């Protein structure tokens, strides 16, 4: 028994020394978890507030301005713009720049003064059911508070005749507020990230670990051809999995397939360029499959939490929100939801596509250069 314990202690000492001497592994085991805990503690916030709202005040009276100001006062809805017609305001919803349109019709103040119900319309972007539900509750809750019987009775006692405020909600893109329709595009984007980043990094690291990569390097195959040959199979697998996700989403979850599929395919290719580039870059920084897996996981987890797929970006601290702008998963998820759920075209998602193109060129170019230098 003592001999077995001595052997166990020897193996433990050997593993501890080997791990401590590996600076990359120590960084993955100690520094990265601390940073992630700090960032994720602020990023994961399920509360919905600061919902971007566009106002259409067609009455333009003191009463309409007062009610809009009071409705926006609690912070659930935040005004980001104003339009003169509901049709122009709905463009904000189609482009993803706003989630709510508040429309005050003409005669709003007149109806209040004459004691008739004054209607306030809320047009909601139903592609995010949780956010739409919270926004609808905020609007209806305000109307209920304004229409309390005790308040109106007190006003009548004072000789003031006021009508009640009544709301009418109209939900676009997802009238049933089905959560699955909202989640399927985000899950598809995360699956592509997992397959093309983690699996690609581990595959390239496995060849380096086994020595087969060095055997290929002694052949007259150019480094550029070698990189493409290593990356293309994972790209094809990613495209096939993406097609399967669309089919499952459409036939199992009744996810709508709107918009331009040419734009969707182009954005997917650019997104794969970024994720495959990250996989290639991680493989050049890793000495083993274990390190490649840890590196891919540490990239994938922050990308998922800072993408807005699971928690609203608007609910994150202001200092953290700029970090989401360099997250390819955020931009690709916005393209997917915009094209599939809102029927957006290239004009509506051009900014996200441009960011993916710039990221793809930079990340893949840098990774290819580092791979070429590491094989010399």
Q: What is the CATH number of the domain that holds 128?
A: 3.40.1710.10
Among the candidates 147, 172, 197, a domain finishes at 172
Q: Which residues of 237-274 are buried (b: 16+ CB within 10 A; e: fewer)?
A: ebbebbeebbeebeeeeebeeebbeebbebbbebbbbb
Q: What pLDDT shows up at residue 269?
A: 93
> 3-class DSSP state for residue 77?
strand
341 and 219 co-located in one domain: yes
Statement to judge: residues 167 and 183 lie in one domain: no
Q: Are residues 165 and 220 in the same domain?
A: no
Same-domain pairing of 165 and 303: no
Query: Do 141 and 268 sit in the same domain of this protein?
Result: no
Q: Are residues 279 and 204 in the same domain?
A: yes
- In this structure, the answer to whether residues 134 and 79 fall within a common structural domain is yes
**Tens digit of each residue's pLDDT, the chain (376 residues):** 676 667 666 655 655 665 566 665 556 555 655 555 455 545 555 566 788 899 999 888 888 888 888 888 878 888 888 888 888 888 888 888 888 898 988 888 888 777 777 788 888 888 888 788 888 888 888 777 766 543 454 445 544 445 566 677 777 777 777 777 888 888 888 888 888 888 778 877 777 777 766 666 666 767 777 777 778 888 888 888 888 888 888 888 888 888 888 999 999 999 999 999 998 889 888 877 878 888 888 888 888 888 888 777 877 778 888 889 999 999 999 999 889 888 888 888 999 999 999 999 999 889 888 877 766 6
User: DSSP assignment of 114-167, as one string?
Assistant: TTPPEEEEEEEETTSHHHHHHHHHHHHHHHHHHT-HHHHHHHHHTT---PPEEE
Q: What's the predicted TM-score (pTM) here? A: 0.73
- Return the pLDDT at 264: 92
Give me the number of domains the chain comprises. Answer: 2
Judge whether 156 lies within some domain. yes
In a domain, 320, yes or no: yes
Looking at the structure, do residues 247 and 276 belong to the same domain, yes or no? yes
Does residue 357 sit within a domain? yes
pLDDT of residue 154: 47
Domain shared by 195 and 105, yes or no: no
Q: Does residue 85 sit in the same domain as residue 188?
A: no
- Give the C-alpha separation, 112 to 64, whole Å: 10
Instruction: Tell me which residue range forms the domain holding 337.
Output: 178-374
CA distance 232 to 238: 10
Q: Residue 275 domain-assigned?
A: yes
d(CA 310, CA 77): 20
> Would residue 20 count as lying in a domain?
no
What's the rounded Cα separation, in Å, for the pair 363 and 369?
10
Q: Are residues 237 and 367 in the same domain?
A: yes
> Does residue 33 lie within any of the structural domains?
no
């Amino acid at each position: 028994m003592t001999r077995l314990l001595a052997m166990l202690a020897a193996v433990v000492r050997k593993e501890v020394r080997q791990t401590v001497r590996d600076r990359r592994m120590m960084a993955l085991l100690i520094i990265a978890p601390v940073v992630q805990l700090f960032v994720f503690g602020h990023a994961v916030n399920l509360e919905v507030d600061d919902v971007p709202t566009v106002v259409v005040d067609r009455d333009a009276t003191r009463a309409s301005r007062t009610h809009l100001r009071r409705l926006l006062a609690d912070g659930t809805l935040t005004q980001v713009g104003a339009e003169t017609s509901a049709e122009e305001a709905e463009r904000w919803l189609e482009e993803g720049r706003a989630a709510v349109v508040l429309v005050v019709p003409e005669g709003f103040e007149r109806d209040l003064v004459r004691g008739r119900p004054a209607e306030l319309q809320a047009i909601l972007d139903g592609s995010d059911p949780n956010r739409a539900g919270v926004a609808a509750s905020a609007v209806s809750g305000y109307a209920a508070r304004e229409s309390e019987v005790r308040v109106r009775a007190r006003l009548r006692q004072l000789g003031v005749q006021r009508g009640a405020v009544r709301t009418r909600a109209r939900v676009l893109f997802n009238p049933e507020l089905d959560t699955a329709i909202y989640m399927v595009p985000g899950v598809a984007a995360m699956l592509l990230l997992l397959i093309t980043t983690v699996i690609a990094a581990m595959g390239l690291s496995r060849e380096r670990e086994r020595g087969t990569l060095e055997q290929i390097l002694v052949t007259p195959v150019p480094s550029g051809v070698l990189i493409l040959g290593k990356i293309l199979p994972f790209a094809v697998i990613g495209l096939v999995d993406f097609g399967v996700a669309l089919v499952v989403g459409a036939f199992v979850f009744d996810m709508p397939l709107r918009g331009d599929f040419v734009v969707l395919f182009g954005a997917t290719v650019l997104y794969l360029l970024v994720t495959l580039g990250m996989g290639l870059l991680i493989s050049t920084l890793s000495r083993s499959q274990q390190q490649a897996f840890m590196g891919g996981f540490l990239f994938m987890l922050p990308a998922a939490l800072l993408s807005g797929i699971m928690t609203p970006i608007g609910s994150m601290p202001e200092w953290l929100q700029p970090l989401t702008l360099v997250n390819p998963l955020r931009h690709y998820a916005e393209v997917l939801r915009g094209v599939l759920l809102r029927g957006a075209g290239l004009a509506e998602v051009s900014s996200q596509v441009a960011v993916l193109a710039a990221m793809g060129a930079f990340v893949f170019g840098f990774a290819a250069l580092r791979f070429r230098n590491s094989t010399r």
